[in-house]
């Protein structure tokens, strides 16, 4: 019996592999929409950032998130995702206020 390696989630913002609990998943649905996947279980192509606004902004600014999802994110899309991201951080206050490494 060997323990299976947990899947590594790499933040598209800072590039660090991060514990799954502290990561936010974005998903591109089969319809081609991109949204924040709070459950982590939505069907579609996924990409990740740390649960930090900094990493989200970096991922957007450098187009890392868009390229990971293989989509073209328009400004409308990024505004909507940012709003969803901020809501998520507020909902999970523990994450938002946690200090430490990315």
- Comparing CB distances to Zn ion, the nearer of 28 and 52 is 52
Contacts (CB under 5 A) with Zn ion, residues 17-76: 50, 55
DSSP 3-22: PPPPPPEEBTTT--EE-GGG
CA-based angle 53:36:89, to the nearest 5? 40
Residues forming a β-bridge with 11:
48
Smallest separation, CB 2 to Zn ion (Å): 29
Among residues 48 and 73, whose Cβ is nearest to Zn ion?
Answer: 48
- Residue from 9, 11, 47, 81 binding Zn ion (CB under 5 A): 11
**Distances 2 to 5, 7, 8, 9, 47 between C-alpha atoms, Å:** 9, 15, 18, 21, 28
Closer residue to Zn ion in complex, CB, 14/66: 14
Q: Rule CB under 5 A: is residue 13 a binding residue for Zn ion?
A: yes
Write out the residues near Zn ion by the rule CB under 5 A.
11, 13-14, 50, 55, 102
């Amino acid at each position: 019996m060997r323990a299976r390696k947990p899947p590594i989630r790499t933040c598209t913002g800072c590039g660090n592999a991060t514990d799954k609990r502290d990561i936010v998943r974005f998903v591109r649905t089969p319809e081609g929409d991109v949204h924040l996947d709070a459950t982590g279980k939505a069907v579609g192509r996924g990409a990740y950032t740390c649960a930090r606004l900094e990493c989200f902004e970096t991922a957007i600014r450098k187009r890392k998130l868009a390229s990971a999802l293989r989509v073209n994110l328009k400004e409308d899309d990024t505004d909507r995702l940012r709003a969803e991201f901020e809501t998520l951080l507020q909902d999970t206050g523990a994450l938002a206020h946690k200090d430490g490494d990315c």
